[in-house]
Amino acid sequence: MSIEDRYKLNKEITLIDIANELNVSKSTVSRALQNHHSIGAETTKAVHELAKKYNYQPNAIASSLFKKSTKTIGVIVPILSHYFFSTVIAGIEDVAYKAGYKVIICQSHELYEREVIVSKTLLSAKVDGLIVSVSKETVNMDHFQQFLDKNIPLIFFDRLPTGIQSNSVSVDDYEGAFKIVEHLIEQGCKRIAHFTGPLNIALAQNRLQGYKDALRKHHIPVNDELIYECGFERTQGITTTEKLLTDQVSVDAIFAVCDPVAIGVMLTLKQKSIKIPHDIAVVGFNDDPTATVIDPPLTTVAQPAFEIGVAAADIFLKQVIGPSRSYIKEVLKTNLTIRQSSLRKNR
Q: What is the CATH number of the domain that holds 191?
A: 3.40.50.2300
- When divided into structural domains, the chain yields a total of 3
Residue 89 near residue 77 (C-beta atoms within 8 A): yes
Same domain, 260 and 162: no
Same domain, 135 and 248: no
What does the pLDDT read at residue 294?
A: 95
What does the pLDDT read at residue 37?
A: 79
Residue 23 domain flag: yes
What does the pLDDT read at residue 323?
A: 64
The enclosing domain of 17 has a CATH number of: 1.10.260.40
Same domain, 310 and 271: no
Note down the domain range covering 100.
Answer: 70-171+305-332
What does the pLDDT read at residue 59?
A: 61
What are the DSSP E strand ranges found in 180-339?
A: 192-196, 227-229, 253-256, 281-283, 300-302, 329-332, 335-337
Same domain, 166 and 309: yes
Between the CA of residue 265 and those of 222, 233, 272, 298, what are the distances in Å?
21, 11, 11, 11
Residue 347 domain flag: no
Top pLDDT among 288 and 31 is at: 288
Same domain, 259 and 298: yes
Give dist(CA 227, CA 181) in Å, integer.
13
Residue 274 domain flag: yes
Please write the tens of the pLDDT for every residue from 37-82: 788 889 999 888 888 888 877 665 455 444 467 899 999 999 998 8
Residue 261 near residue 231 (C-beta atoms within 8 A): yes
Please write the tens of the pLDDT for every residue from 143-170: 999 999 888 999 999 999 888 889 999 9
Same domain, 166 and 315: yes
What does the pLDDT read at residue 65?
A: 47
Residue 292 domain flag: yes
Same domain, 126 and 74: yes
Residue 237 identity (one-letter amino acid) = G
Same domain, 129 and 112: yes
Please write the tens of the pLDDT for every residue from 100-123: 999 999 999 999 999 999 999 999
pLDDT category of residue 10 using cuts at 50, 70 and 90: confident
Residue 238 domain flag: yes
Please write the tens of the pLDDT for every residue from 301-346: 999 999 999 999 999 999 887 666 688 999 999 999 999 999 987 5
Same domain, 189 and 236: yes
Residue 123 near residue 147 (C-beta atoms within 8 A): yes
Same domain, 81 and 94: yes
Of the chain, the percentage scoring pLDDT greater than 70 comes to: 95
Average pLDDT over every residue of 237-241: 97
Residue 63 domain flag: no
Between the CA of residue 295 and those of 162, 210, 240, 267, what are the distances in Å?
37, 27, 20, 9
Residue 88 near residue 308 (C-beta atoms within 8 A): yes
Residue 64 domain flag: no
Residue 188 domain flag: yes
Same domain, 256 and 310: no
Same domain, 263 and 230: yes
- Residue 210: CB atoms within 10 A of its CB come to 24
Please write the tens of the pLDDT for every residue from 200-235: 889 999 999 999 999 999 999 999 999 999 989 999
